[in-house]
């Protein structure tokens, strides 16, 4: 209403000349006043799609956003006095870019590496019904009202057991190689907000998700946080912070870690679980200080290994954990966490460790994290709760078990009607699990069940963390060691002992895994590797660990292995980040603006600071293929089927109606034409077939006069023939 179009020379195939009237269409907007008419005009201009020529639409949009114009005080000097009108924003062209992506996937297959050949489920997961209206109040309301200290008191004074749901992060990191996309998290978020307001928190960020979002899913991790925060305003969000490593795999300058925590808090993060892969106290304290200065809830985590209930395991004894807890409490942690990343906590050890911590720190909330690799996770968490733990970690039933966390439904059912009652409605857990069962089918190519059919109690021997177990298995397959995974697990034990019996969690677990695979690949035993240490070319991660790049392990570095491997290489003394100069974030922002040309946000700067190469590749990808995060998961991984019709919502009010029509034969240049119908109009995309070109390179130019189009000269024939090449 209120828009009139007078068409001129705008039609498909028209040649627009600069020498005469180049008007495409005249737009007239009508409203009750000047501002209303301008608003209608802005919307009309924004909805034009003109391809083939540049138009003055960006200039007109700048005029319509100018306050002087909207105020009606324009004179003949208006353009001269407002040079910013010519700062034109290029069109996003999102629809065309998405068609190019879909065509690329239809021709060449997925853009993200697929470890196992398995198609996504053809059916979408069932989203449970969500009531109308705002969600009920949750623990985040207490946090916003009373701050971190008041929040911690409320947790400690709460009657019953509290749960943290890891489904949004650690569960899929452990089971599905961290590949769950924001698209599928957003669909279930309103249901979570309305039905699980009794949760302590939702873990949905940090760890490997930051890297994987950009590297493999081509999503902005910050945007994920922002969108989930909007959908779940009432439940605290929790992230995993790798101490001085933030969300990376190496140490960063201190100012980067501090700025990261500040911006994460501004984007909606609440609780920061701070850990260090070696329990190296200086790295832990740096992360805690960064979170505290940002105003977040500090949850200092002690990474657990060994068995405090086994008197023969003397290195990581009960006294070791109690002393470390004392240091973290003295440093001001709001909550203390025991992070059992391999699922080694047995019920007897839970009773001993948690009971001792509760006796020593009666007013401090205790939070326990484990993995269910051995199958004893539910029993262990119940033992922790009975010994005095306030919070335990669980995952949706269909995303629990094996290398993930214990079942949410099992903990809810086992505590129902007892003093530990969680208050979470069990029937809601069933619907939640049904959604994730369907969603999990979309990620069949990444599912750990392709290589792992059950839990394994041998984790008590090899101590492989849950988040690493399936990745190590996939890596073994990719290196040709799939049939030797049993040997890899045994080598993991030997590698760990070679390195001094480490706390094993990212990145220290990767170091042990790299060494184990190196040993199996080269047929080395521990004795062989130690004897030949001066001659062997060890994996880079092992060498850098021995140099001290991730910190100092408890008990010191292994000797004489360290001296043999390093020889004259430099060594880092003390906390690695302490010797790094501050990063110039302003200079980095300027560099990114020059390279990518977009508006650079503080979030972009931090992404580039953590993962410079990954971030630049991500930005280049989205510049070429557009917002692929708006596609559903099956389309993202597999592309559409011929004659399939579907919708893509770019943003609220902007929906694309697309139909895949056909894919042409390969042309002489190794390209295929992919045809779509977009909002009722025919579109074609030219895509290079990289798969076919590996098998059949393009016919060389010199051959065209001798053979004909479509004839391929094989290199084998060329080698056999000394005269004219044969087709």
Three-state secondary structure along 60-109?
HHHHHCCHHHHCCCCCCCHHHHCHHHHCCCCCCCHHHHHHHHHHHHHHHC
d(CA 100, CA 87): 28
Distance CA 646, CA 635 (A): 10
Residues 421 and 338 in one domain: yes
- Give dist(CA 498, CA 516) in Å, integer: 10
Q: Could you say which residues of the chain have pLDDT below 70?
A: 482, 693-727
The answer on 143 and 87 residing in a single domain is no
Contacts of 606 by beta carbon, 8 Å cutoff, 6+ apart:
256, 259, 260, 263
Separation CA 404–CA 394 (nearest Å):
9
**CA–CA dist 262, 584 (Å, integer):** 16
Q: Which of 310, 469, 559 lies closest to 492, judged by CA?
A: 469
Has residue 172 been placed in a domain? yes
Domain edge (last residue) among 450, 470, 493: 450
State pTM to two decimals.
Answer: 0.86
Both 267 and 176 in a single domain? yes
The answer to whether residue 470 sits within a structural domain is no
pLDDT in tens, 669-709: 889 999 999 988 888 899 999 877 666 555 555 444 444 44
**Does the residue 190 lie in any domain?**
yes
Do 229 and 316 belong to one domain?
yes
Burial category of 449 from C-beta neighbours within 10 Å (exposed 0-12, middle 13-18, buried 19 and up): middle
DSSP 200-262: SEEEEEETTHHHHHHHTS---HHHHHHHHHHH--SS-EEEEE-GGGTTSSS---HHHHHHHHH
Q: Which two tokens stand for residue 25?
A: 């269409």
Look at residue 277 and tell me if it is in a domain: yes
Secondary structure in 3-state letters for 452-485: CCCCCCCHHHHCCCHHHHHHHHHHHHHCCCHHHH
Beta-ladder partners of 205 = 239
The answer to whether residues 342 and 285 belong to one domain is: yes
Q: Which residues fall within 8 angstroms of residue 35, CB to CB, at 6 or more apart?
A: 70
3-state secondary structure of 678: strand
77 shares its domain with 145:
no
In a domain, 724, yes or no: no
Domain boundary, last residue among 91, 106, 127: 91
Q: Does 323 map to a domain?
A: yes
- For residue 49, what pLDDT is reported? 80
**Residue 179 counted as domain residue:** yes
Q: What is the CATH number of the domain that holds 372?
A: 3.20.20.70
Domain span including residue 393? 139-450
> 673 by DSSP, 3-state: which?
strand
Of 425, 412, 349, 423, nearest to 380 (Cα)? 349
Give the separation between CA 627 and CA 227, rounded to whole angstroms: 15
Residues 6+ apart with CB under 8 A from 514: 539, 541, 542
Q: Is residue 68 part of a domain?
A: yes
Rounded Cα–Cα distance for residues 255 and 587 (Å):
14
**Alpha carbon distance 611, 56 (integer Å):** 38
Q: Please tell me whether residues 36 and 174 are part of one structural domain.
A: no
Strand pairing report for 271-274 and 25-29:
unpaired
Do residue 77 and residue 159 come from a single domain? Answer: no
Structural domains counted in the chain? 2
Considering the domain architecture, whether residues 61 and 171 belong to the same structural domain is answered as: no
* pLDDT score for 694: 64
Same-domain pairing of 276 and 360: yes
Residue 700's pLDDT is what? 55
Strand, helix or coil at 296?
coil
60 and 152 share one domain: no
Residue 205 has φ and ψ, to the nearest 5°, of -155, 165
CA pair distance 464, 467, nearest whole angstrom: 8
Of 398, 415, 450, which marks where a domain is finished?
450
313 and 184 in a common domain: yes
CA distance 333 to 330: 8
SS3 428: helix
| CA atoms within a 13 Å half-sphere pointing along the CA-CB vector of 401 | 13
Nearest CA to 673 among 684, 683, 682, 681?
A: 684
User: Which positions ≥6 away from 64 have C-beta within 8 Å?
Assistant: 38, 41, 42, 45, 70
Give the burial string for 547-570 (b: 16+ CB within 10 Å, else e): bbebbbbbeebbeebbebbbeeee
């Amino acid at each position: 209403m209120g828009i009139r179009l007078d068409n001129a020379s705008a039609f498909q195939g028209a040649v627009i000349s600069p020498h005469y009237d180049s008007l495409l269409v005249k737009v007239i907007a009508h409203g009750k006043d000047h501002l209303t008419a301008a608003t209608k005009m802005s919307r009309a201009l924004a909805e034009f799609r003109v391809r083939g020529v540049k138009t003055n639409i960006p200039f007109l949009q700048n005029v319509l956003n100018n306050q002087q114009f909207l105020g009606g005080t324009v004179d003949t000097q208006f353009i001269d006095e407002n040079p910013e009108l010519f700062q034109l924003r290029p069109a996003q062209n999102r629809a065309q870019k998405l068609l190019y992506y879909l065509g690329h996937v239809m021709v060449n297959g997925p853009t993200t590496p697929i470890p196992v050949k398995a198609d996504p489920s053809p059916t979408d997961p069932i989203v449970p019904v969500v009531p109308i209206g705002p969600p009920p109040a949750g623990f985040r309301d207490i946090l916003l009202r009373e701050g971190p200290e008041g929040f911690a008191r409320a947790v400690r004074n709460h009657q019953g057991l509290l749960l943290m749901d890891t489904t949004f992060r650690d569960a899929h990191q452990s089971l599905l190689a961290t590949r769950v996309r924001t698209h599928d998290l957003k669909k279930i978020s309103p249901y979570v907000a309305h039905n699980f307001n009794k949760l302590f928190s939702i873990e949905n960020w940090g760890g490997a998700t930051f890297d994987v979002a950009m590297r493999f899913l081509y999503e902005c991790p910050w945007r994920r946080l922002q969108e989930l925060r909007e959908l779940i305003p009432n439940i605290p969000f929790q992230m995993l912070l790798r101490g001085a490593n933030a969300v990376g795999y190496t140490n960063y300058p201190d100012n980067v870690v501090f700025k990261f925590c500040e911006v994460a808090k501004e984007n909606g993060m609440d609780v920061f679980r701070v850990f260090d892969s070696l329990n190296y106290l200086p790295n832990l304290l740096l992360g805690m200080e960064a979170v505290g200065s940002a105003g977040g809830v500090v949850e200092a985590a002690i990474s657990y290994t060994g068995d405090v209930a086994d008197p023969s395991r003397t290195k990581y004894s009960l006294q070791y954990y109690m002393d470390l807890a004392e240091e973290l409490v003295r440093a001001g942690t709001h909550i203390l966490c025991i992070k059992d990343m391999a699922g080694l906590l047995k019920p007897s050890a839970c009773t001993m460790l948690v009971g001792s911590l509760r006796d020593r720190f009666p007013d401090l909330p205790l939070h326990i994290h484990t993995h269910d690799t051995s199958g004893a996770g539910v029993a262990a968490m119940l033992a922790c709760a009975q010994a005095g733990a306030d919070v335990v970690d669980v995952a949706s039933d269909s995303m629990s078990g094996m290398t993930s966390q214990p079942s949410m439904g099992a903990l809810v059912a086992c505590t129902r009607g007892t003093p530990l009652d969680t208050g979470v409605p069990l029937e809601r857990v069933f619907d939640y699990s049904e959604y994730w069962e369907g969603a999990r089918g979309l990620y069949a190519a990444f599912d750990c069940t392709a290589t792992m059919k059950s839990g394994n109690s041998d984790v008590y021997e090899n101590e492989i963390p849950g988040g690493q177990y399936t990745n190590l298995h996939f890596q073994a397959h990719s290196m040709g060691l799939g049939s030797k995974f049993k040997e890899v697990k045994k080598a993991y034990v030997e590698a760990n002992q070679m390195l001094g019996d480490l706390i094993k969690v990212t990145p220290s677990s990767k170091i042990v895994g790299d060494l184990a695979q190196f040993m199996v690949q080269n047929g080395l035993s521990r004795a062989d590797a130690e004897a030949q240490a001066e001659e062997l070319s060890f994996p880079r991660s092992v060498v850098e660990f021995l140099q001290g790049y991730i910190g100092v392990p408890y008990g010191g570095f292994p000797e004489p292995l360290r001296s043999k491997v390093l020889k004259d290489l430099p060594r880092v003394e003390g906390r690695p980040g302490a010797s790094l100069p501050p990063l110039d974030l302003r200079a980095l922002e300027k560099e990114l603006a020059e390279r990518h040309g977009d508006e650079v946000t503080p979030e972009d700067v931090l992404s580039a600071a953590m993962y410079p190469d990954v971030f630049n590749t991500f930005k280049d990808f989205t510049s070429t293929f557009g917002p692929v995060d708006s596609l559903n998961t099956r389309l993202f991984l597999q592309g559409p089927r011929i004659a399939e019709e579907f919708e893509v919502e770019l943003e609220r009010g902007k929906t694309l109606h697309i139909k895949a029509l056909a894919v042409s034969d390969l042309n002489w240049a190794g390209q295929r034409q992919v045809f779509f119908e977009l909002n009722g109009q025919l579109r074609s995309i030219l895509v290079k077939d990289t798969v076919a070109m590996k098998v059949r390179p393009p016919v060389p130019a010199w051959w065209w006069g001798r053979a004909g189009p479509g004839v391929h000269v094989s290199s084998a024939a060329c080698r056999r023939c000394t005269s004219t090449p044969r087709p």
